[in-house]
Amino acid sequence: MKNILTDKLAMLLLTVIALTGCNQVKLEDQEARNLVVSTLGLPQKFTEEVNANSMDPLGSGRKCQALEDAGFIYKTGNWIYGYNLFCTDKGKPFLIGQGKEMMQGKNTLKFQAFDIDFNQITGIAINKEQQTATVRFTLKATNVSPISRTLEKNIDNPRNGELVYKKFDKGWQLASDQNKTGTDMVREIWWGRH
């Protein structure tokens, strides 16, 4: 009788351990890092496009003037007939494309800018009832070209991001209310919501 009671008690204890162990909602830093990197498709490469004929003083027009002042580009022509944009010897190592969009009369140069990569996990908040994890992290710019240093003074400051994951039988998945591409999410984190 003792053996049967001991056996039943042992089985009950193993069942309780198995059930509570399977229901654990944990997310370690390394696993969270892997989730963020995979979700966002990091690292991501970004470019800078400069247009000499843009009238946008905060966008492409500002970029053109800043790069011209720094000696990376120069323009010929005038504001009535349009400008032609050229790359100087200083800018040529970073030039990756040039084109004239005839339909819009724009002359643009495309430069290598920087990569955005994972920096660190800053926090993980687990909601055991909903089986979700809010992962806070930072992204950083790497392989920053002098073009980007000229255009963005705070390029070396990491940017804060947050993603919510839900626990499923086969692992953690991004919460369904965040259905955007990795590039869209990185752009939102780096430059803010547009």
165: CB partners within 8 A, 6+ apart: 27, 35, 132, 133, 135, 172, 173, 174, 175
* % of the chain at pLDDT higher than 70: 78
pLDDT of residue 97: 86
Lowest-confidence pick of 4-13, 20-29, 95-104:
4-13
pLDDT of residue 62: 80
Q: How is the chain split into domains, by residue range? A: 27-44+116-191, 47-112
Mean pLDDT of 45-64: 77
pTM summary value: 0.79
Distances (CA, A) of 27 to 10, 31, 51, 169, 172: 30, 6, 46, 14, 9
Does 67 score more than 70 pLDDT? yes
Q: Residue type at 36?
A: V
Query: Which class for 153: exposed (0-12), middle (13-18), buried (19 or more C-beta within 10 A)?
Result: exposed
4: CB partners within 8 A, 6+ apart: none
Please check whether residue 49 is in contact with residue 108, taking contact to mean a CB–CB distance below 8 angstroms.
yes
Helix%, strand%, coil% for the chain, nearest 5: 35, 40, 30
Token code pair at residue 122: 């800053």
